Amino acid sequence: MRSKEIVLDLEDIKAQIIYHRFKETEVKTFLIFFAERRKALSTLEGFKKVRYVANHYNPPELWDFVHQNRKEYEERICADLKLEPGDVAMLFTGADMDNLSIKREEYEDFRVYACVTAGAKSNAQRVGVDKAGSVEKEEGKFERLGTVNIIVLTNASLTDGAMSRSIITITESKVIAFQDMDIRSSYSPEIQATGTGTDNIVIVSGNGPRISYVGGHTKAGELMARAVTSAVKEAILKQNGRY
């Protein structure tokens, strides 16, 4: 097991990409450590108090196993990293963690980071337009070749309402990236994609200035959106190249 340090200029936070193995296959985990528990909102798990946030890459040769044994796989990855599942908000992706993009925005005493991995080559869709069944293989297994995972960190203390509203701001910002890059649906190439069918978000609150709203009319919302849009664009270029 080896690791690469990632510098995030936020109090009491450390981060690294950890290179480890599962079934003789190299896997990679972007792991963020907090000095004390922080409030997080995950689109996979809801609200949670965490010591860690993770974005985990499993390569194609493991996809069938992960699809069939998701809970077991998560438990074994946590055990390998010496983490308790209840202490971590974890995302999963087929996008290589070496293609991680991190963008920072700040204004006065507010700081925000967007940490993004993104693939959109074969799983991009226009939600509500492309039929749900079109994202499955004939044998009924999800294609997981494209996923946009977004982790947003801030030094601000966000209310529950602000954290919930941030999901809208982050999602709109991702869609802007897809629009600006003219990413098309993998299933209906004549229409523009809004994301992939497996995208997820984690937003983590800090202990600094209190913020109760992060909509587009607020400075916090503006900065969060800029960081996310920029990071999504760069992550897609790193993973998939230019469209």
Find the CATH number of the domain harbouring 65. 3.60.70
Candidates 108, 100, 160, 24; CA nearest to 91 is 100
| pTM exceeds 0.85 | yes
Which residues span the domain enclosing 190?
A: 2-240
The tens digit of pLDDT for each residue in 124-151 reads 999 999 887 544 444 444 444 679 999 9
Q: How many CA atoms lie within 13 A of 75 on its CB side?
A: 4
49 sits in which H/E element: strand 46-57
| Res. 11 pLDDT band, cuts 50 70 90 | confident
| Res. 232 pLDDT band, cuts 50 70 90 | very high
What integer is the mean pLDDT of 7-16? 91
Task: Count up the domains in the chain and report the number.
Answer: 1
At 180, list the tokens. Answer: 């600006």
At 150, list the tokens. Answer: 């977004």
